[in-house]
Amino acid sequence: MSSTVSHLIRLRLDLAYDGSQFHGWAAQPGLRTVEGRLTEALSTILREDVALTVAGRTDAGVHARGQVAHMDISASAFTSLPGRSTRSPEEALRVRLSALLARDADGPKGSSDVVVHSITRAPEGFDARFSALSRSYTYRICDDPDQFDPLRRRDVLWVPDQLDVEAMNRSAIPLLGEHDFISYCKPRDGATTIRTLQRLGAVRNEGIIEVTAQADAFCHSMVRTLVGTLMRVGDGSQSEAWPAQRLIERSRDGQVVVAPPHPLTLERVTYPDHTELAARALQTRAVRCLEC
């Protein structure tokens, strides 16, 4: 977005958060949310209203290591950020924001459950949501009671019986590619449930099962439903063919299994080369239809 034309400057924010004490990303009256906390702090610093656009709206309790958002601020607010310091406006904003978030956080002194790692000028055409090529999530499970670590209870699901990881991976294969995932998500009014699932698989890593899901985008609760479905295969309560059957049925019925939110982390969001950002945003906004 050109500041010479609109007098607005678009900034990209790369951030992480512990979702344990947040009611999700999206601002909600009377509830503590990531968006609400950030916009409050940013508006205080910039002395103007701020609206954030995020790559992926995480649910209550879900964490993020590689979340991305953008905001448009006035050129006057941007240039005034350094004050008498020699910092760039972007770095001045990051430092002041970090200090404010840490000061108001309910936790160990000097820390915060939301951290903005970097603030940069966004290239022409950048949109944190629509320019993204993919979002990648990890869901962590411990299926060995001898390995339950109370220090990890906020980001690992404890299950009492061992899961068959190989069976989970075999059952995930038919779900890859472009499909209508209505059986695996909570649809929103006017939004498509057609997605391209690029990766879905589980590995054991130092006693923890890590389920990775990557797609161009995810519907509401889609990752947790995919994981919950694979877990039913892993514990033997459903056959390896069941996830594919659920996909074909295109139905949200009593068989829907949504895994708990706290073991889920948004790991990263990927974007195309700067020259392709605007084109990608236009492509993403187009409504998809499998029968078109």
CA–CA gap between residue 282 and residue 201 (Å, rounded): 30
Catalytic residues: 59
Q: Determine how many CB atoms are found less than 10 A away from the CB of residue 49.
A: 9
What backbone phi and psi angles, to 5 degrees, belong to 244? -65, -40
**Burial (Cβ within 10 Å: 0-12, 13-18, ≥19) of residue 5:** exposed
Handedness of CA 170, 261, 42, 84 (dihedral sign): negative
Q: What separation in angstroms does the CA of 256 have from each of 56, 157, 171, 185, 274?
A: 22, 18, 16, 9, 40
Nearest residue to 200 (alpha-carbon basis) of 153, 228, 232, 168: 168
What Rg do the C-alpha atoms of the chain give, in angstroms?
21
What backbone phi and psi angles, to 5 degrees, belong to 69? -140, 165
